[in-house]
Structure 1
Amino acid sequence: MSVVTYTVKGSTATITLDSPGNRNAISEALLEGIDEGISQAVEDETVRSLVLTHTGTVFSAGADLKGSSKTADPRARAQAANSVIRRLLTCPKPVIGAINGHVRAGGMGFTAACDMVVAGPQATFGLSEVRIGVVAAMIAPVVLARLDDRTAADWLLRARTVTAQEAMAAGFITHALPADGPSVDDVVDDILTDLRKGAPQALAASKSIVNRAVLAAMDSREAEMIDLSGQFFSSSAAKAGMQAFFDKTPPPWVVET
């Protein structure tokens, strides 16, 4: 059973993360599915825009801690995820994130790589890595490119849940929709209508201008961040943190005062 689906309607291709049973965790299969969807959209001349969305209440919870990727080389896993993030950023067609649920850890990297992001009233965001003893290094270049330093410190160090309204105010997402407002699909449709009025080559060039800085950050720091991510995922703290996560108990470093 595929964990990612790809559909085309009119001039819009949709990549749907479709593994709600594990909260759309970032597995090898999920990465391959996103990558394949991007390739199909790029090669199809009738496709003008790409929507990245999900089933279930979670857009993506981050790394697949329970699946087969748990035993894979953490640096190779980080490299594979980074490659997909880079593909979203360099895809010549605009990518819109349509989010109706929670986004955590590595899922924040996918969100940051979208050109525009529409979040519904149930959406929340968070860089939760430090609470299981790891570091959000792999996604740092793309995520930090969307945030100022003070906001980044708040999100990375506290690992707290961030509301969609906060994420929009910080510039991390484009639209945070209230419960009594338009739906995510309605706002995405409005964006797609505007994009259909733009010349494809001009849109591609404009996207490359917008994403130049974040790609430069990835180019200069990607290897360092992947090494740092791998170092922490292989650490004894990460093993203890993941076990505590599975057991639903506090990890050993938590103190009361």
Structure 2
Amino acid sequence: MFNTISLVTDIRGVATLTLYRAEKHNAMSGKMISELTDVARQINEDDAIRVVVLTGAGKSFCAGGDLAWMRAQMEADSETRFAEARKLAEMLQALNTLTKPLIGAVQGNAFGGGVGMISVCDVAIGVDHLKMGLTETKLGIIPATIGPYVLARMGEARARRVFMSARLFDAEEAVELGLLAKVVPADQLAESIEAEVVPYLSCAPGAVAAAKQLARDLGPKIDDSVIDHTIKSLVDRWQTEEAEEGIGAFFDRRKPRWQR
């Protein structure tokens, strides 16, 4: 039983994994991070599941990391900070290494960690009105644990256009950047996702899993050393005056001192 996500599987073996914190724009809390890690394990162990569709409840796909959770890490001791950052990194890797195809149905905006969630999908289709952005630097932090997946999806040259500036971009630019495969009107999203799902139902599940593993083996390496580096980078930023100022300003509903 999950509290922040849902998993529903149809008779064909198509599982829909929904981020279910609509009132918080599906921001990732500690509970959601834990539940996503658990559900990835459950999906891998369920032979009846052939394909997974990842989406969000409500207007937003995922607003990124829950800022209350981040603020708690900044106030915690060093051991707790590293433990929580590792949970986030391991959740992303669990989804990235899912043995089943993962298709993103991006029905709304995605910021920060939400862009990371799109980046671990094998393919993602978005609605034409959505906005995206790697907004971490506005808060004095950095897109650390999502970084390897964003860079793998976009490539360094394209990623550097948006990785540091916190600039928002639209769905069409998200296609250009490599985050989305296609953009469709909202009323066509389900049909477009179905078109991605159906071919897998004619494929041997073991061969699909092996081909996905091979693609990861041949692509950019995201191993323990890379993940450890991202964890340290995130924790280091949590401990800075800029992070304290940026996240504090968000909760105080004021501009951080660097905003012009």
Deviation at 1:230? 0.7
Which secondary structure does the structure 1 equivalent of 2:161 belong to? helix
In the alignment, which residue of structure 2 is the partner of 1:201? 206
Q: Evaluate the alpha carbon distance shift between residue 68 and residue 233 of structure 1 in structure 2; reply closer, same or farther with a 3 A threshold.
A: closer
RMSD value, Cα: 1.9
In the alignment, which residue of structure 1 is the partner of 2:50? 48
For residues 156 and 22 of structure 1, the distance between their equivalents in structure 2, rounded to whole angstroms, comes to 24
For residues 152 and 70 of structure 2, the distance between their equivalents in structure 1, rounded to whole angstroms, comes to 31
Overall identity of the aligned pairs, in %? 29
Contact in 2 for aligned 1:119/1:184 (Cα 8 Å): yes
Q: Do structure 1's residue 189 and structure 2's residue 191 form an aligned pair?
A: no
Deviation at 1:220? 3.9
Contact in 2 for aligned 1:86/1:215 (Cα 8 Å): no
Deviation at 1:13? 1.1
Q: Do structure 1's residue 250 and structure 2's residue 251 form an aligned pair?
A: no
In the alignment, which residue of structure 2 is the partner of 1:223? 228
Which secondary structure does the structure 1 equivalent of 2:110 belong to? strand
User: What does the per-residue CA deviation read over 1:152-205, in whole Å, with 9 as the maximum and x for residues that have no partner?
Assistant: 2221222111211111112122221146xx621111111111110111111111
In the alignment, which residue of structure 1 is the partner of 2:94? 87
In the alignment, which residue of structure 2 is the partner of 1:57? 59
For residues 191 and 104 of structure 2, the distance between their equivalents in structure 1, rounded to whole angstroms, comes to 13
In the alignment, which residue of structure 2 is the partner of 1:146? 153
Which secondary structure does the structure 2 equivalent of 1:146 belong to? helix
Q: Evaluate the alpha carbon distance shift between residue 168 and residue 68 of structure 1 in structure 2; reply closer, same or farther with a 3 A threshold.
A: closer
Paired residue for 1:156, among 146, 160, 163?
163
Deviation at 1:227? 0.6
For residues 209 and 153 of structure 2, the distance between their equivalents in structure 1, rounded to whole angstroms, comes to 20
Q: Do structure 1's residue 107 and structure 2's residue 114 form an aligned pair?
A: yes
In the alignment, which residue of structure 2 is the partner of 1:33? 35
For residues 164 and 144 of structure 2, the distance between their equivalents in structure 1, rounded to whole angstroms, comes to 12
Q: TM-score, normalised by structure 1?
A: 0.91
Aligned length: 253
Question: In the alignment, residue 239 of structure 1 is paired with which amino acid?
Answer: E
Contact in 1 for aligned 2:159/2:177 (Cα 8 Å): no
For residues 186 and 69 of structure 1, the distance between their equivalents in structure 2, rounded to whole angstroms, comes to 40
Q: TM-score, normalised by structure 2?
A: 0.90
In the alignment, which residue of structure 1 is the partner of 2:175? 168
Write out the 4+ residue segments of structure 1 that deviate beyond 3 Å after TM superposition.
71-74, 217-220
Unaligned runs of 5+ residues in structure 1 are none
Contact in 2 for aligned 1:177/1:184 (Cα 8 Å): yes
Question: In the alignment, residue 240 of structure 1 is paired with which amino acid?
Answer: E
